[in-house]
Structure 1
C-alpha cells in the first residue's frame, strides 16, 4: 500500500485535472520526481512538499494524513494563541512550550516557528 502522501498528491493532481508534466512546468519539479512521490518510491523534502501544497492549495497536514480537511482553517482558540505569541523575535524560541508533557527543544521550536510563519503568511494572502 502506498504512503498516504503518495495517494493524496496523486489524488489532488487528478482532482485538478493536471498531468505530472503540467505540475512540473508550474513548479519546476521534475515530472519523474513527481511520479516517484505519487508512487511512494520517494519522499518529498520539506521545501518540495511546501511547493506542491502551495501549488495545489492544500495543507501539508492533509497531504501527510494529519487531517482529512485539505483546506483546514485555524480555530478561534488557535488564532487567540497565535496572537499572544510573537513569531518575529526570539521570545518564542526562549519561551517555555511543552507538547505531550515535555519541553520542546530549541530546534523543535525553530521548526514550529518557521512552519507557523509559512502557514500564517499563506492565510494572510487569501
Structure 2
C-alpha cells in the first residue's frame, strides 16, 4: 500500500497540477504541498476532505488504506457489479490478475474500435471533398 505522500504526488501529477496550482486550490502556498509530498507535514481532516474531493477519490484511497479509488461509486446496474465482485473475490490471486489483464485488454479493444469508427467517419468527409481539395491532404 502507498502512503499519503506518495498518493498525493501521484494524483497531482496524474491530474496535471503543479504544487503551486494545488496549493491555490486549497488556499495555501506550494510549500505546504511540498511538505505533504515529502512527508514532513500532514494535512488536517478538513484539508484531507478537500484533497479527496479535488481528485475524486475516497479518503481511504488517499491515505493508502485501500487501492480502490471510489469504493462507493455506483454502477448503472449495481446487481451486476455486486455479482462481478462476488465472483472476483472468490478467485485466487493469480486468477484475479488474469481478470484484470483481460479487463485491460477489453478496454483497449473498445478504444481501438472507437478510433476506427472515428476514422471511418472522417473518411466519409474526404470522399465528399473535391478532387483538388483531396490532393492537398
TM-score, normalised to structure 1, is 0.53
| Correspondence for 1:70 | 69
CA contact (8 A) 1:27 1:55 kept: no
Alpha-carbon distance between aligned partners in 2 of 1:40 and 1:50, rounded to the nearest angstrom: 18
| Correspondence for 2:18 | 19
In structure 2, stretches of 5+ residues that fail to align are: 79-137
- Structure 2 CA distance for partners of 1:74 and 1:48, relative to 1, 3 Å: same
| Alpha-carbon shift at residue 17 of structure 1 (Å) | 1.1
**Between structures 1 and 2, the one with greater helix share:** 2
| Correspondence for 1:81 | none
CA contact (8 A) 2:23 2:32 kept: no
Q: Which runs of structure 2 are paired with 1:6-85 in the superposition (5 Å)?
A: 6-73=5-72
| Alpha-carbon shift at residue 74 of structure 1 (Å) | 6.4
CA contact (8 A) 2:26 2:47 kept: no
| Alpha-carbon shift at residue 27 of structure 1 (Å) | 2.1
Alpha-carbon distance between aligned partners in 2 of 1:69 and 1:33, rounded to the nearest angstrom: 26
In structure 1, stretches of 5+ residues that fail to align are: 77-126
| Correspondence for 1:83 | none
- Number of residues paired by the alignment? 74
- 1:8 partner SS: helix
Alpha-carbon distance between aligned partners in 1 of 2:23 and 2:41, rounded to the nearest angstrom: 16
Largest Rg, 1 or 2: 2
- 2:64 partner SS: coil
- 1:18 partner SS: coil
